Structure formats: C-alpha cells, structure tokens
Amino acid sequence: MRKGFRTDLGWSDVTPKEQWLNRRQLMAGVGALVTAPPVLAQGAAAPGRYSTDEPPTALEDIAGYNNFYEFGYDKEDPARLAQGLTVDPWSVVIDGLVDRPGTYALDDLLSGVTLEERIYRFRCVEAWSMVVPWVGFELGALLGRVGVQPGARYVAFETLLRPGEMPGQQGGMIEWPYREGLRLDEAMHPLTLLATGIYDEPMPKQNGAPIRLVVPWKYGFKSIKSIVRISLVTDRPQTTWNMLQPNEYGFYSNVNPQVDHPRWSQASERRVGGGLLAPRIDTLMFNGYADEVASLYAGMDLTRDF
Ligand code: MTE
C-alpha cells in the first residue's frame, strides 16, 4: 500500500483484490465469503513484526479497568454490567461503497481468517496506558474481501444499540449508538486490527466482545467496541466524542504528547497495573508507532488537525 498524505484514496490505491482472496475464496466464487473456521496462526503467542516486547498488562487489569459507557461511567462498571450482553449470535452489516454488501454472521466473517496475536501499547486520552496482547486480524484484509469501491474515502463503525442489555444506553449525554471512523488509508494500515480476543481467549464482554477495533497509534476512544456495522463512505463520518466536544476530541486523535487535552496533559502517562509508586512514563508521538504511521499525515499540521 502506498503511504503518504492522501485524502483521495480510492480502490486503485489499495492492494489489488486478487491479493486478498485466498484460493478457497476464488473457488467459492465472487459473492460468497468462505466458510471455514478461523485459524489461530501457528506460534501466535510469539510476538510478530508489529508487536512490542514490553511486558503485557495483567488480564485482570485489562478486563477490570474499562471505558465502555454503554455499561456506565466508572472503570469497574463494564466488568460487572456487561456480562448480560448477548454476543452469540452476532452479525455485522457491511455496507456503503463495497462490492459485496450484506449482513454477515460473525462466523462467516471469521471463516478462513488467520487470527494472530499482536501485543500493542494502548493509550487512553485520560493519560493511562496498558500493553494488550490482542488476538485478531487486519481490518484491511476484511475490506479487501468485501471489495472497496472507488469513491470510498472513509470507514464508519457503529456499536450495537441494545438498551435492554446496555443500561448506559438508557440515558446519558452520548447519542447512541457509539460511532467511530477512520480515513481509508488508516483503516487499510496493517497495524489496524479487528480483535476478537485477548491473551488467546475470546474477547471479554467488557473489552468489546465479540469483535472490536484496535488502532494503536490513536487514543483509545477510536478503538470502538462490539461492532455491528462497518460502512465505506465518501464523507468524513460523525464520531461520538467529536460530536460531543469537537474542541477536545478531534477526528484524528493521534496520540501526541505535544497537544494537551484541556483536562489531561498528554506529555506522560500512567501504566495501569504498575502500582501507585511506579513512575509515569513519557508519552511517545503516535504512541510509539511513528515509524509505521507518520507518513500517513505528512504535510498536515497535527496541532490544528488533531
Ligand atoms: N466503544 C464503545 N462502544 N463504547 C465506549 O464507551 N470507550 C472507548 C473505546 N471504545 C468505548 C468504546 C474508550 S474511551 C476507550 S479508552 C477504550 O474503548 C477502552 O478500551 P478497554 O476498556 O478495552 O481498555
């Protein structure tokens, strides 16, 4: 994939469709996604090219200290209140500018997909961070399978709307469902994951079961949980925090130690699980992924277009 600042990315700019289709898909023919169970990559536990070798945060911290406002505002609420969420059956609508739009059962979406472990730093705009061993696959692979059409420039995501099981959706300041979005080249970047698990286990409900986005160079709120809709669109989509407070939460929301949030300095961060006496650590530009992603934003003023 070509890197560089482009807002006019179209089909010809992303990897050719043929490279994404495996042999089985070709035999199954256009119009069908394959129906084989997901495969956990051999040696998935070994950190790959994109994984950090920093020690992962303990599972009880990753699954016990959460932001998932559909289940309340306190960090402990999601672990307690998300357990009643029905995650099976689950389907994802893929629509907009795609060759094969449809409502895909999660099993079909995952069929034939090779899941791999990616150990990523995860940095919340509230200035805490974790190191999370996600299990997932590249969003770009899925977009390749459904066929991105010319004219698509952004990808919009939506979380499940189910107030009966998500008590936070019965009120509050957020206009539900939770929404997020990426530019197409950000969505196609190999670091961008759809994750279905943590620590080789299915995704805990409080972390966004059964399938969520992970964009490790952006603040955590971009990594939308429990996704039910993925839309390929022309115009920049509306996103939850940007709709609420556009001056505080930009569309891009790339981790940037030089651009403070009105309530949180972004210069440093606290590693969750490090203990009260652990020193704060310096926050890195793009959360330490600058080598991989800085070229996506070449020519942009990241203090203005944040
Ligand atoms: N997705 C949905 N649907 N609802 C949310 O409230 N919170 C976001 C993001 N994704 C959120 C969401 C925020 S603010 C953060 S920091 C991360 O999820 C937290 O992910 P974690 O709980 O797995 O650490």
Query: Over the stretch 176-207, which tens digit does the pLDDT of each residue have?
Result: 999 999 999 999 999 999 999 999 999 999 99
In whole angstroms, give the CA distance from residue 144 to residue 142. Answer: 5
Q: Look at residue 14 and tell me whether its pLDDT is greater than 90.
A: no
74 Cβ contact list (under 8 Å, min separation 6): none
Average pLDDT on 281-302 reads 97
pLDDT on residue 41: 58
Q: Look at residue 244 and tell me whether its pLDDT is greater than 60.
A: yes
pLDDT on residue 49: 83
Instruction: State whether the beta carbon of 225 lies less than 6 angstroms from ligand 1.
Output: yes
Q: Do residues 247 and 181 lie in contact, with contact meaning Cβ atoms separated by under 8 Å?
A: no
pLDDT bracket for residue 305 (50, 70, 90): confident
Instruction: State whether the beta carbon of 218 lies less than 6 angstroms from ligand 1.
Output: no
Instruction: State whether the beta carbon of 176 lies less than 6 angstroms from ligand 1.
Output: no
What is the 8-class DSSP label of residue 173?
Answer: S
What is the 8-class DSSP label of residue 1?
Answer: -
The tens digit of pLDDT for each residue in 203-230 reads 999 999 999 999 999 999 999 999 999 9
What is the SS3 assignment for 24? helix
More confident residue, 20 or 294: 294
In whole angstroms, give the CA distance from residue 156 to residue 96. Answer: 10
Choose one of 59, 67, 174 to mutate for the ligand 1 pocket test, by most ligand atoms within 8 angstroms of C-beta. 67
Q: Look at residue 2 and tell me whether its pLDDT is greater than 70.
A: no
pLDDT on residue 18: 35
Instruction: State whether the beta carbon of 159 lies less than 6 angstroms from ligand 1.
Output: yes
Which element (helix H / strand E) includes 132?
strand 128-138
In whole angstroms, give the CA distance from residue 298 to residue 178. Answer: 29
> Whose alpha carbon is nearest atom 12 of ligand 1?
224
pLDDT on residue 232: 98
The tens digit of pLDDT for each residue in 250-285 reads 999 999 999 999 898 999 999 999 888 889 999 999
Instruction: State whether the beta carbon of 287 lies less than 6 angstroms from ligand 1.
Output: no
Instruction: State whether the beta carbon of 57 lies less than 6 angstroms from ligand 1.
Output: no
**CA 125 to ligand 1: nearest atom:** 16
Exposure string over 52-81, b if 16+ CB within 10 A, otherwise e: beeebbeeebbbbbbbbbbbbeeeebbbeb
Q: Do residues 137 and 116 lie in contact, with contact meaning Cβ atoms separated by under 8 Å?
A: yes
The tens digit of pLDDT for each residue in 144-164 reads 999 999 999 999 999 999 999
Average pLDDT on 49-58 reads 95
Instruction: State whether the beta carbon of 68 lies less than 6 angstroms from ligand 1.
Output: yes
Rounded to the nearest 10°, the torsion over CA 125, 131, 133, 135 is: 10
pLDDT on residue 276: 82
Phi, psi of 285, deg, nearest 5 = -55, 135
In whole angstroms, give the CA distance from residue 270 to residue 283. Answer: 9
Handedness of CA 119, 115, 107, 153 (dihedral sign): positive
In whole angstroms, give the CA distance from residue 282 to residue 284. Answer: 6
Q: Look at residue 3 and tell me whether its pLDDT is greater than 50.
A: no
Choose one of 85, 124, 217, 225 to mutate for the ligand 1 pocket test, by most ligand atoms within 8 angstroms of C-beta. 225
Average pLDDT on 228-250 reads 97
More confident residue, 16 or 258: 258
CB atoms within 10 A of CB 177: 20
* Global pTM exceeds 0.95: no
What is the 8-class DSSP label of residue 148?
Answer: B
The Å distance, Cα 45 to ligand 1 centre, comes to 25
Instruction: State whether the beta carbon of 185 lies less than 6 angstroms from ligand 1.
Output: no
Mean pLDDT of the chain: 88
